[in-house]
Amino acid sequence: MKNILVLCTGNSCRSQIAHGYLNHFARSKANVYSAGIETHGVNPKAIAIMQEDGIDISQHTSNHVDEYLGVDFDYIITVCDHAKENCPYIPSEKAVRLHHDFTDPSKVSGSDERIHDAFESARDEIKAYCKNFVNAHVAASTPTK
């Protein structure tokens, strides 16, 4: 069983979306955690955009990375440059550290349609990344949705 940490600045949006998809694609083959170098609460728009794709993250909580210092991670995935550059040291000797700077949809302003499109675009990009990650690093068989 792999231990995977998804790390972002506030653990409110991109890391929560990735957490949802990693759980979905890895099923019982991984323990997935998400955290931030700060905590901002789970973004309601992230919950809603995931619900549109049939993934429920409404029970997720915004956690600080220090809560997981005792976990020996196999993978640590940073999903924004700020977290990558400002993350405290995590003492997981075997952890493979990966990084992808996903666009932050919570920074988009304008019409409801423009904001929705930004969340949908970020969600779809994160979904593809997570599916590829699980296929490459966690399991041979994954759901195809």
- Give backbone dihedrals phi and psi of 30, rounded to 5 degrees, phi first: -155, 150
Burial 118-129 (b: 16+ CB within 10 A, else e): bbeebbebbbeb
What strands, in cross-sheet order, belong to the sheet with 2-8? Answer: 30-36, 2-8, 75-78, 96-99
Which positions are annotated as active-site residues? Answer: 8, 80, 87
Q: Is 91 exposed, middle or buried (0-12, 13-18, 19+ CB in 10 A)?
A: exposed
Q: How far is CA 134 from the centre of its chain?
A: 13
Beta-sheet strands, E only, within 56-137: 75-78, 96-99
